[in-house]
Structure 1
């Protein structure tokens, strides 16, 4: 099985999710450090749709200026635009497999798509 993780190596939950993926021999993992290589607006929209959540639900609040920018109340399109411009606003980690996409908070949510 192939899995792609949008990863921030400074995030403990992201590191724990990656460890789960790497410790399963059946998983071929692609790691995308999204702060260095952010997904496109279209890719983000697809990931959130496939995860069954809105871009607003995938918005990182803690450690960002999202609230000061009124992003939690903004349109989905405005949130996606902000995420592309400033990828720190993307809550992490997102994991995609052929079984679906999950925002893996907590990290055990990744097991739902393996």
Structure 2
């Protein structure tokens, strides 16, 4: 694979730090995006979800207090994506992308699929 590697992460997240360590050890160049400082757009999050091959519900951190208040039986994919853009704590992390493939790196070793 020759495509650029990008990690979407939160610096205080232990899984993100673990994934970054694996990327550092790999010796490959990558771009790191703290999506709290550089928020994702709706279109960007939709693109990431497509590359993951998942639904927005699959990317939702269901244990977050803000997620417990959502009625997942009635909320649309678009509305859920908008909620995640508005509140990044609702997104699983980290997400690593290489070309048209992406992985949620929980556990961090999932990043090896992209190296």
Report the TM-score, using the length of structure 1 for normalisation: 0.89
Map of 2:88 onto structure 1 = 87
In structure 2, stretches of 5+ residues that fail to align are none
Are 1:55 and 1:76, in contact at CA under 8 Å, matched by a contact in 2? Answer: yes
Q: 1:21-100 to 2 correspondence within 5 Å?
A: 21-25=23-27, 27-70=28-71, 72-73=72-73, 74-98=75-99, 100=101
Kept in 2, the 8 Å contact 1:103–1:109? The answer is: yes
Larger RCO, structures 1/2 (Cα 8 Å, 6+ apart): 2
Question: Residue 16 of structure 2 aligns with which residue?
Answer: 14
- Structure 1 portions without partners, runs of 5+: none
What's the Cα RMSD here? Answer: 1.4
Aligned length: 112
Q: TM-score, normalised by structure 2?
A: 0.89
Measure the CA separation in 2 of the matches of 1:22 and 1:30: 11
